[in-house]
Amino acid sequence: MQSVPNIVRPDKDPVLNEENPFEAMMERFDRAAELLNLEPGIYAVLRHPEKQIITSVPVMMDNGEVEVFQGIRVLYNTSRGPAKGGIRFDAKVSLDEVTALAAWMTWKCAVVDIPFGGAKGGVICDPYRLSMGELERLTRRYTASILDVLGPDSDVPAPDVNTNERVMAWIMDTYSMHMRHTVTSVVTGKPVAMGGSLGRREATGRGVKIVIREALRELGIPVHGTTVAVQGFGNVGSVAARLLEEEGLTVVAISDMTGGVYNANGIYIGEALKWVAEHKFLEGFPHGEPITNEELLELGVDVLVPAALENVITKRNAPNIKAKIIAEGANGPTTAPADAILDEKGVFVIPDILANAGGVTVSYFEWVQNREGYFWSEELVIKRLREVMIRSFHNVLDYARQHHVNLRTASYMLAIDRVAAVHRMRGIYA
């Protein structure tokens, strides 16, 4: 295990790469820090991750050969509580990306005011190429190699891109074997039968729906007749699409990594879910015309939900975006230069650290239930999630109006202010 205490990045270098997620996060952070007039010491602390782990993960493949993967876990900040954040399995994972995502988790937990810090993890691999057995061995060995930081009071993983309840079950089991007793609260997003929370699987998509509903109310746009395009049909996009449809909006376009479909009369999401359950991907779904992921973003819809990966809205396509509302289901779907363009166009952007915070909010509920050993009904989970999302939406909106900034800057300012306040109270341990 190799711990790198500092991010390899000189302070204050110019933003060179629009699509580097760490740069994207830092640009927003710097702007918020400046507006907050953050003192230099706290500014310096919050600009650096607490801990970055890079580890080699050897796996015995099904063909009898050993392959070594790279695993990463970054604990960005733990001042407000245990580090919290998902683990993704993806070929494009990098230290910069995971660090940005860990910082975003820190701000996200602070925006919705739950007592967690921020973390993220990843393993560089192509999970679609791995068998179930290989995935399990990879997960268990990765877990073992970051065991020093894991724990209900120190670092609590959850699902993210290409990981799910099954992966969480393996992490929980591996950790528990090392502790010599069952520790349910070490991960969230577990299967309900082994301590997961009802409503966790749908929580991110449900949170996206709740903030879109609030935004429509705020902007005086009626629900009926409002059109939506959703990019991504995984755990976030598919649930958001289904719940928005249920709410009375018309979902005219959906997509996944194989491309999208468009139907001006609305896509019946139940049919799309059935198709994906059978065929794995949306490709070939017959109830609409095929479109590309790029075309989906530029459709003439009222609401756009990017719920796939980072950097899909850039300075190149931002001028062509026609949506009135963008609700960021993914983490970091909009680059920093694109923010300015959307702002100028008057698009109501509900930023990722607010829009997709429903997942980590119910993760918090799961962690609380595990520690209490007492489980809530699904109705109670949904009720409390609604309360948190609506309160946070209005906190950010009020903050934005008060400080004459957009919702992105407001959410960063609110979050950074909360984290900074705790740093001031705790002081610097010498």
- Decide: is 205 part of the binding site for ligand GLU (CB under 6 A): no
- Decide: is 282 part of the binding site for ligand GLU (CB under 6 A): no
Single residue of 32, 46, 59, 360 touching ligand GLU by CB under 6 A = 360
At 221, which amino acid appears? I
Single residue of 139, 174, 226, 331 touching ligand GLU by CB under 6 A = 331
Single residue of 86, 196, 207, 351 touching ligand GLU by CB under 6 A = 86
Single residue of 77, 139, 188, 255 touching ligand GLU by CB under 6 A = 188
- Decide: is 160 part of the binding site for ligand GLU (CB under 6 A): yes
Give the separation between CA 167 and CA 189, rounded to whole angstroms.
9
Which token pair is 315?
A: 């300075």
DSSP label of 338: H
- Decide: is 84 part of the binding site for ligand GLU (CB under 6 A): yes
Closest CA to 78 of 104, 106, 53, 99: 106
Closest distance to ligand GLU from the beta carbon of 222 (Å): 30
Single residue of 71, 82, 85, 351 touching ligand GLU by CB under 6 A = 85
Is 315 within 8 Å of 338 (Cβ atoms)?
yes
- Decide: is 359 part of the binding site for ligand GLU (CB under 6 A): yes
Closest distance to ligand GLU from the beta carbon of 311 (Å): 16
Number of residues that bind ligand GLU (CB under 6 A): 11
Give the separation between CA 391 and CA 388, rounded to whole angstroms.
5
Give the separation between CA 212 and CA 287, rounded to whole angstroms.
25
- Decide: is 158 part of the binding site for ligand GLU (CB under 6 A): yes
**What is the 3-class SS of 18-81, one letter each residue?**
CCCHHHHHHHHHHHHHHHHCCCHHHHHHHCCCCEEEEEEEEEECCCCCEEEEEEEEEEEECCCC
At 112, which amino acid appears? V
Mask for 402-421, x = binds ligand GLU (CB under 6 A)? --------------------
Question: Closest CB to ligand GLU among 331 and 334?
Answer: 331
Is 234 within 8 Å of 283 (Cβ atoms)?
no
* Catalytic hit among 108, 120, 190, 324: 120
Closest CA to 104 of 10, 164, 212, 24: 24
Give the separation between CA 36 and CA 24, rounded to whole angstroms.
19
Question: Closest CB to ligand GLU among 84 and 324?
Answer: 84
Question: Closest CB to ligand GLU among 158 and 313?
Answer: 158
Mask for 238-277, x = binds ligand GLU (CB under 6 A)? ----------------------------------------
* 383 tagged catalytic: no
Name the percent of the chain in helix, strand, coil, to the closest 5. 45, 20, 35
- Decide: is 77 part of the binding site for ligand GLU (CB under 6 A): no
Question: Closest CB to ligand GLU among 174 and 331?
Answer: 331
Stretch that binds ligand GLU, among 25-33, 248-256, 301-309, 358-366 (CB under 6 A): 358-366
- Decide: is 363 part of the binding site for ligand GLU (CB under 6 A): yes
Give the separation between CA 401 and CA 419, rounded to whole angstroms.
21
At 237, which amino acid appears? G
Q: Which residues are catalytic?
A: 120
Q: Residue numbers of the site for ligand GLU (CB under 6 A)?
A: 84-86, 158, 160, 188, 331, 356, 359-360, 363
